[in-house]
Chains A and B, each alone.
Chain A
Amino acid sequence: MSGFFAHVDWAEIVQATLDTLVMLGGSLLLTLLIGLPLGVLLFLTGPGGPWRSRVANGALALLVNLLRSVPFIILLIVMIPVTVLLVGTSLGVAGAIPPLVVGAAPFFARLVETALREVDRNTIEAVQAMGATTRDLVFRALLPEALPGIVAGATVTAIALVSFTAMAGVVGAGGLGDLAIRFGYQRFQTDVMLVTVALLLALVQLLQMAGDALVRRFTRT
């Protein structure tokens, strides 16, 4: 038990990394699936949108703001009964995904809404003036035009989810964050802390690079 990485149990690091990746992948997928339509609805019901409605937009905005105003650590605890109902447990990787999605989806929805607002007003009018249905407008114009912005938003969301997964360690979710807290922090094993932080950094870096590459791929201006 000598050397700098004396406390590091590499098998456990690998397991924690896998847990983090599964939590991230699962929650990101669901966040995109829920947040994207929510963001589109926020835009369509918003001022100037084809389904403009103060009531519907107000209700959606209230829901989104409510979920976004709850600190994630509180959301983790408040969600426990709902999580048990949904996935049968509030522990482990599966137990972490519902609160992760509930925390991240409203955030991503706002980013989607912002990206859609960036679409040129004349472009939207031009497509409406062709006799497009709202469905045509969304799928043939709004989403393709806003794609770079939406991908950038997904990247930001994925990175936010990485830090959320670390926090989920508090309620026994496992993963790199959990490892960092239990060994690195609570047992003063600085080497474990360093390894987990380095891995999280590498993960964030990879996500950002992949996101940036996709944004470039979809940008035509």
Chain B
Amino acid sequence: MIRLENVHKHYAAGRAALAEVDLEIARGEVFGIIGRSGAGKSTLVRLLNGLERPSGGRVLVDGIDLANLDGAGLRALRRRVGMIFQNFGLLSARTVFDNVALPLRIAGADAATIRARVPELLARVGLADYGTRYPAQLSGGQKQRVGIARALATGPDILLCDEATSALDPETTRSTLALIADLNRELGLTIVLITHEMEVVRQVCDRVAVLHAGRLVERGAVADVFLAPGTAETRALLHEDEAAATPIPFDGAVLRLTLRGEAVAAPVLSRIARETGTDVAILDGRVGQFKDERFSQLTLGLSGGDTKAALAALHGLGAVAA
């Protein structure tokens, strides 16, 4: 659906914003791009609808090289690519209705179409009664819902989210992400989501790429990257480096056990402890939920009993020395 081939971007002055970026995003997936501020995320997402032009390399959307599009071609493509923003980007002088109607008016839709389509879109984001309000009268979460309704107005195949939840509180972030996940499921939208928060990626994304100083340093299924980060940059984003800097002192074998899916519900620790007579201490850990899979990841300390047998049993479950 979206392909970047050896994309470079540098501005007139200063270092490269993006270098050697290769990326492929499949139709219908929720793809996260995570990185610190200044990593080049915003530039990257703006390449996908031509708000930015690459200095080198190719950007292909649905097989179309954006560099080959003229003004009209680019505008036509943009109607198939919705975008939402950190600061919402609503017109403050226009009502909610007129904000959502704007892409339709720009696309040349007639008044009857607009009267029918806008209430539909507002109902879809749960703002059916808000058409006559002005953005200043809405909460942050409501503003972002208007942004989403507006982005969907022209019936796009792709939705770009530029730090769309970064200005929202945790509760509103969750509900906004839930809406985005619903849209992905119901409309089959391909979603590209830029964020600096791993939690956002964990909740909605299928795959993730880690951007650091303009380069993609890691990518993969969210669960794999989250549970077994392969680079120092990813560990830093997960705050894993902090945990590693202050290990808990423990006299005995220390391992890290990761369970995913149905295995999470299996009472493995108590069984191993009972069978081997080994005491199991939980030194660190996290449990939670990816988009469609539960996980638990525990750092365990073993002491006493038949430690050897306990270690073997845990290694059998995929535990590794920590």
Contact = CB atoms under 8 A, between A and B. Distances in A.
B106 A136 contact: yes
A131 B150 CA distance: 13
B97 interface: no
Contact of A220 (B71, B89, B136): B136
Contact of B51 (A123, A125, A145): A125
Contacts of A140: 102, 105-106
A120 B105 contact: no
Interface in A133-148: 133, 136, 140-141, 144-145, 147
Contacts, number: 81
Interface in A56-91: none
A140 B51 CA distance: 19
Given A144-B94, A218-B93, A220-B92, A130 B85 contact: no
Contacts of A122: 85-89
A114 interface: no
A218 B86 CA distance: 25
A85 to B, nearest CB: 40
Nearest to B80: A131
A139 to B, nearest CB: 11
A131 B75 contact: yes
A131 B106 CA distance: 7
B257 interface: no
A128 B74 CA distance: 10
A133 B75 contact: yes
Contacts of B93: 144-145, 147, 218, 220
A186 interface: no
Interface in A141-185: 141, 144-145, 147
Interface in B54-105: 71, 74-79, 81-83, 85-94, 102-103, 105
B107 interface: yes
A221 B94 CA distance: 11
Contact of B49 (A129, A132, A136, A218): A129
Contacts of A220: 92-93, 134-136
A124 B51 CA distance: 11
A44 to B, nearest CB: 15
Interface of A: 120-133, 136, 140-141, 144-145, 147, 218, 220-221
Given A127-B102, A131-B75, 9 more contacts: A125-B46, A126-B89, A126-B90, A129-B51, A130-B78, A131-B78, A131-B103, A133-B75, A145-B93
